[in-house]
Amino acid sequence: MRIARDLPTLRHALDDLGPVALVPTMGALHPGHLSLLAAARREVGEAGTLVASIFVNPLQFGPGEDFSRYPRQEEADLDRLREAGCDLAWLPGVEAMYPPDRATTIQVEGPAEGWEGAARPGHFRGVATVCAKLFLQTGARVAAFGEKDWQQLQVIRRMVRDLDLPVRILPCPTLREADGLAMSSRNRYLDPEARSRAAALPGAMRAAIEAMARGTSPAAALATARAGLAAAGLALDYLALVEPESLCEVEAPPGRLIAAARLGAVRLLDNMPA
């Protein structure tokens, strides 16, 4: 596996390699990330080039968010990437990604506006900007994204469509722990007691979806879920049934049930088809 930390090295490394499938990450890799690598490899085959980027993107963190304490474990991540058959690890420094006098960012409207966009102003501007740069830097034909971050996936798809970026976005299903909690690099910050309560989020979501399928009104099903989550000690930011691509709220299924809840210092995100 080659490693590039600056653009000239990246370009040189890509010169003699086949079509690129990219998996953008912020590191602290877990099996969810590895499933994206496997899906990306299937898309380009052995003749293609599997590139993983690890970049904790300062532009997508707001003031007071966890940029400085976001987990960083480069050596362990590189071992995982090697084991996963990654051809090239792209580990840009902040200075390689953002010239100090940069003047350009990408602002997506529509699906980027509510939910995470409202809770974290500027977040999706940072995500869209870094993803556009990663696509252009690597010349990726395919880029894999997790459904775990549903709104992010829709924002990236919309950006790619609107800007005619020559990359195909490959959505990948959410990998979960045995109790249903969606895997996330931030889960390590849950203390054992909080960790044991965290699965209440997917549990309440699943129960609400099943109740709606049995004919319970969406309003009643979501109210029951909200009460259950409060009882489990989760501070809900939002729980909403939305149209899957626009993220606009809908009255009744079919749609996507999306949720964010705070548990101690950790913000849990989840979503499911409903």
Annotated binding-site residue? 97:
no
Q: Of residues 33, 80, 123, 256, which has the active-site annotation?
A: 33
3-class SS of residue 262: strand
The answer to whether 59 contacts ligand AMP (rule: CB under 6 A) is: no
The answer to whether 61 contacts ligand AMP (rule: CB under 6 A) is: no
Exposed/middle/buried for residue 92 (C-beta within 10 Å: 0-12, 13-18, 19+):
buried
Report how far apart the first and last C-alpha atoms of the chain are (Å, whole number): 41
Task: State yes or no: is 33 an active-site residue.
Answer: yes
Q: Applying CB under 6 A, which of residues 137, 174, 187, 271 lies at the interface with ligand AMP?
A: 174
The nearest distance, CB 184 to ligand AMP, in angstroms, is 5
- Residue type for position 170: L
Q: Applying CB under 6 A, which of residues 50, 167, 170, 175 lies at the interface with ligand AMP?
A: 175
- Total residues at the site for ligand AMP (CB under 6 A)? 17
The nearest distance, CB 162 to ligand AMP, in angstroms, is 19
Exposed/middle/buried for residue 100 (C-beta within 10 Å: 0-12, 13-18, 19+):
exposed
Task: List, as one string, the DSSP characters of 8-65.
Answer: HHHHHHHHTS-SEEEEEE-SS--HHHHHHHHHHHHHHTTTSEEEEEE---GGGSPTTS
Annotated binding-site residue? 30:
yes
The nearest distance, CB 38 to ligand AMP, in angstroms, is 11
Element (H, E) at 131: helix 123-138
The nearest distance, CB 27 to ligand AMP, in angstroms, is 6
Q: How far apart are CA 159 and CA 136, in angstroms?
A: 13
The answer to whether 92 contacts ligand AMP (rule: CB under 6 A) is: no
Site string for ligand AMP, 22-51 (x = CB under 6 A): ---xx-----xx-xx---------------
- Chain centroid to Cα 51, Å, comes to 17
Site for ligand AMP in 130-149 (CB under 6 A): 145-146, 148-149
Annotated binding-site residue? 183:
yes
Pairing between strand 256-263 and 235-242?
Answer: antiparallel
The nearest distance, CB 214 to ligand AMP, in angstroms, is 28
Q: Applying CB under 6 A, which of residues 51, 130, 142, 172 lies at the interface with ligand AMP?
A: 172
The answer to whether 123 contacts ligand AMP (rule: CB under 6 A) is: no
Element (H, E) at 198: helix 192-198
Joined together, the tokens standing for residue 250 give 């809908």
What residues act catalytically?
33
Interacting residues with ligand AMP (CB under 6 A): 25-26, 32-33, 35-36, 145-146, 148-149, 172, 174-175, 182-185
Q: Could you list the residues known to form a binding site, using ranges.
A: 26-33, 60, 146-149, 152, 175, 183-186
